[in-house]
Amino acid sequence: MLLSGYAAFKFVRTRQRVRQLRLGRDGERAVAQYLEWFRTLNFFVFHDVPNGDANIDHVLIGPSGVFTIETKTLSKPQRGHCKITVENGVIRANGQTLDRDPMIQAKAQAGWLKHFLAESQFETTVQPVVVFPGWFVERFDMKAAGAWVLETKALIKFIENEPERLTREQTQAIASALRSHIRAQAKT
């Protein structure tokens, strides 16, 4: 009896984990498809960029700068709102604090990329972005938070409002350095 109860518990937990992994994968794919459109705006788009033990979901490099994008796909409730709020640097989904803070992760990824680019002789800022596909994100002071937290489709407006920071030659050189890094990591 005890063994079958334990087996049922493990089965349910494994099923929940598989469901979460599928949800995350599907969210990253949807964001990746959306970001491909940025190529028409002279951006270079990279997906799953390795950075040590982890990866950056997406990187955009273009005239408006360099952006790291962390995708957070959350299950939507059966009824009611799908609202993200950020207060005092804490992200909440429908009032519930997330298990892991994606802003910390996004800032770390942007920091890694900024350091990598500096080692490659490129001094530029890197804007960390967290996107929540399909969720409404309530306005907050993103500058004070140090990261953008957006619904995926809002990203274009934010980038359009950024001044031009990089020339075409600079974006090509930065993209080339990142492409070389990705190739080198794929060989290891």
The count of structural domains within the chain is 1
Angle between helices 168-187 and 102-119 (to 10 degrees): 100
Which pLDDT belongs to residue 122? 94
Query: How far is residue 14's CA from residue 100's CA, in Å, rounded to a whole number?
Result: 20
Q: Which of 67, 70, 92, 61 is nearest to 168 (CA)?
A: 61
Mean pLDDT of 55-72: 96
**Stretch (H or E) spanning 9:** helix 2-35
For the whole model, what pTM was predicted? 0.83
Beta bridge partners of 46: 59
Give the closest residue to 94 by CA, choosing from 109, 106, 107, 76.
Answer: 76
Per the CB < 8 A criterion, the answer to whether 97 and 39 are in contact is no
pLDDT band at 86 (very low <50, low <70, confident <90, very high): very high
Long-range contacts of 90-93 (CB under 8 A, 24+ apart): 91/130, 91/149, 93/132, 93/135
Task: Show the domain range for 30.
Answer: 2-187
Can you tell me whether residue 7 is helix, strand or coil? helix
Long-range Cβ contacts of 20-28 (<8 Å, 24+ apart)? 23/73, 23/74, 23/75, 24/71, 24/73, 26/73, 27/71, 27/72, 27/73, 27/133, 28/57, 28/71, 28/73
Q: What is the CATH number of the domain that holds 130?
A: 3.40.1350
Q: What is the pLDDT of residues 2-47, one digit of tens each?
A: 555 555 555 545 444 444 444 444 556 777 788 998 999 899 999 9
Q: Cα(first)–Cα(last) distance of the chain, in Å?
A: 47
- 28/25 Cα distance (integer angstroms): 5
Average pLDDT of the segment spanning 81-95: 90
- Number of neighbouring beta carbons within 10 Å of residue 115: 12
Give the pLDDT score at 154: 93
**Residue bearing tokens 């900024």:** 114
Q: What is the pLDDT of residue 23?
A: 43
pLDDT over 80 at 71, yes or no: yes
